[in-house]
A and B are shown apart, each in its own frame.
Chain A
Amino acid sequence: MAEMKATRDGFGEGLVELGRKNRKIVVLSGDLEDSTRAEYFKKEFPERFFNLGISEQDILGTSVGLSLDGLIPFACSFAVFLTNRAYDVLRISICYNKRNVKLIGSHAGLTVGEDGATAQCLEDFAMTRVLPNLTIFSPVDFIEAKKATYKMAEICGPVYMRLARAPFPIITKESDPFEPGKANLVREGKDATIIATGLMVSESLKAAELLNKEGIDARVLNFHTIKPIDREAIVESAQETGAIVTAEEHQINGGLGSAVAEVLTRNHPVPQEMVAVLDTFGESGDVEGLLKKYHLKDVDIAEAVREVLKRKRGER
């Protein structure tokens, strides 16, 4: 059983480390620093931390101002508020102006749990993916979230990172690479490829184990970067395995599945199935119950692989 730790904790620890190394890091919070873990930074660097209150548009705008003279602002709130409520500020003040602002959206996905639909951000990839100049990270675990945090500060330009509230299994090692836009192979396989992000990577690994017992050899890729999407890895997997399943804790429309389909269609079309939230809002509940109800479990991914293989064989 893998150790469980939340990606937001990886961010929180990474941010403090960054703050120690780089005096230019400043942090703005929408009164959620306890939840996003930006409070670790606040405790050590109170002079570089500002809780601007519950006003996400103003937080993003103020971040832009801070960035104009070379500071590196991290704007932290829930994913829904940063990417949905403050969308036009993200679009114009940040992306159109190509500002060096870092956006931390925690509590993404169904795994927010009991707070239910209003807090469960299921559309952030779709909303942010269409914005020019923006890089989008979706780390798989605590360790990767920390690496992604460091990487955000190195990139010159706007970056959005999706984080989750619930603990996820730790499946990467400190020594694993984290290169923006470059997917990581987490399991080799030749029959089909599962392209997953966030929590769905570990569910995909479990799915691959289930399928292995049936003689199906599934490859699993960790797409920690949603934009720029790793075209090479998608095309290569399509060519080598001939079938793709995407898995994400996001709406089925506009997310990772769509991004992968866009690449496949133009380069190497093969059958694709999508495991995602099926065009519906979430609801309150425990994490495990929600994942089961909305078909985001290992068994659902395994079933999607069986389906895509039928199409690969021309049976459907």
Chain B
Amino acid sequence: MTTKKINLNEFKERARQFRKEILETITEAGSGHPGGSLSGVEIMISLYYYKMRHKPENPGWPLRDRFIMSKGHASPLLYVVLANCGYFPKEELKTFRKLGSRLQGHVHAGVPGVELSTGSLGQGFSVGNGIALGARIRGVNFRVYTLLGDGEIQEGQVWEAAMTAGHHKLDNVCAILDRNGVQENGPVEEIKREEPLADKWRSFGWHVLDVNGHDFEQLIDALDQAETVKGKPAFIIARTIKGKGVSFMEGQAKWHGKAPDKEQLRAALSELGF
């Protein structure tokens, strides 16, 4: 299924630009998590520039679709997206992780556009379900999107929440797994086997979609399809590459939580065509 729902070149250029800003933000901070931020760029652009209904000029708009960054260490990714959408001045990205900044090291609810402070893995997912359940109780129509990391789903709470959404048929929930395959100390499958992921989530009562998480057309089709599913929450396995776009970071566990130095930043930006 191919779509002409977006200007693909524009989206790709945006991804290139966001990768640059993520790397600059982490380098300026001197710490942060590049690997899992770079892997989720296309997912986040598909959400914030295509799928989600939101108003950056009115972050509290009651009918907005909700986004929960459950993998809270991917803060540079979310902050760069929100700044570019206009939730807060891009200039502020330079304060990331610095004393007194709203841009706390892990995703922080004090930042306009952020619904929930996260950073302790596995917690945001339950909260997203709670928002969705609340919307159902109140009879309000919006969708809840949650981004999970594949290391994160080793937390037991994730599976408690997976059962809850399945059992209560929360079809206003769409969870996306940033399946980059690498966690802090190595490959996910070597540390704790997770496959077959699609079967696992299906058996918990979810409608599962399995896509290339760097392919905008696949992501957008999956997000559209997820919205049409009735009586089940939707789970999109977005297969990605950790550190995507920077050859020396790609697939490398050591770039999970380390900032590039000035030289490495220059090399990375050059690879991205800057």
Contact = CB atoms under 8 A, between A and B. Distances in A.
B49 to A, nearest CB: 24
Given A65-B126, A65-B131, A58 B137 contact: no
Contacts of B130: 61-68, 73
B109 interface: yes
A50 interface: yes
A66 B157 contact: no
A61 B134 contact: no
Contact of B160 (A58, A71, A93): A58
B137 to A, nearest CB: 7
Contact of A69 (B118, B119, B134): B134
Contacts of B119: 92
Contact of B116 (A26, A57, A60, A97): A97
Nearest to B118: A92
Q: Which of A48, A61, A65, A96 has the most CB of B within 10 A?
A: A65
Contact of B131 (A53, A57, A68): A68
Contacts of B133: 50, 62, 65-66
A55 interface: yes
Interface in B75-120: 109, 115-120
A69 B137 CA distance: 11
A235 to B, nearest CB: 35
A89 interface: yes
Q: Which of B109, B127, B132, B156 has the most CB of A within 10 A?
A: B127
Contacts of B117: 92, 96-97
B137 A48 contact: yes
Interface residues of A, number: 28
B123 interface: yes
B265 interface: no
Contacts of A130: none
B252 to A, nearest CB: 28
Contacts of A26: 134, 137
B163 A89 contact: no
Contact of B137 (A55, A71, A92, A97): A71
B222 interface: no
A64 B138 contact: no
A89 B157 contact: yes
Nearest to A60: B126
A97 B109 contact: yes
A26 B137 CA distance: 9
B63 to A, nearest CB: 11
Q: Which of B115, B117, B118, B126 has the most CB of A within 10 A?
A: B126
Contacts of A47: 137
Given A92-B117, A97-B116, A66 B134 contact: yes
B134 A57 contact: no
A88 interface: yes
Nearest to A63: B130
Interface string A42-55: 00000110101101
A68 B115 contact: yes
Nearest to A28: B130
A69 B127 CA distance: 11
Interface string B146-183: 00000000001100110110011000000000000000
Nearest to A64: B127
Contacts of B29: none
A88 B164 contact: no
A131 to B, nearest CB: 14
Contact of B157 (A57, A64, A65, A96): A57
A68 B118 CA distance: 14
B269 interface: no
Contacts of B115: 68
Contacts of A67: 130
A58 B128 CA distance: 11
Nearest to B106: A92
A71 B134 contact: yes
Contacts of B164: 52-53, 55, 58, 62
B126 A58 contact: yes
Contacts of A65: 126-134
Given A53-B163, A57-B157, A61-B130, 17 more contacts: A26-B134, A55-B160, A55-B163, A57-B123, A57-B126, A58-B129, A61-B126, A62-B129, A65-B127, A66-B130, A67-B130, A68-B115, A68-B134, A69-B131, A91-B120, A92-B119, A93-B123
6 contacts: A50-B168, A58-B161, A61-B127, A62-B164, A65-B132, A89-B126
Interface of A: 26, 47-48, 50, 52-53, 55, 57-58, 60-69, 71, 73, 88-89, 91-93, 96-97
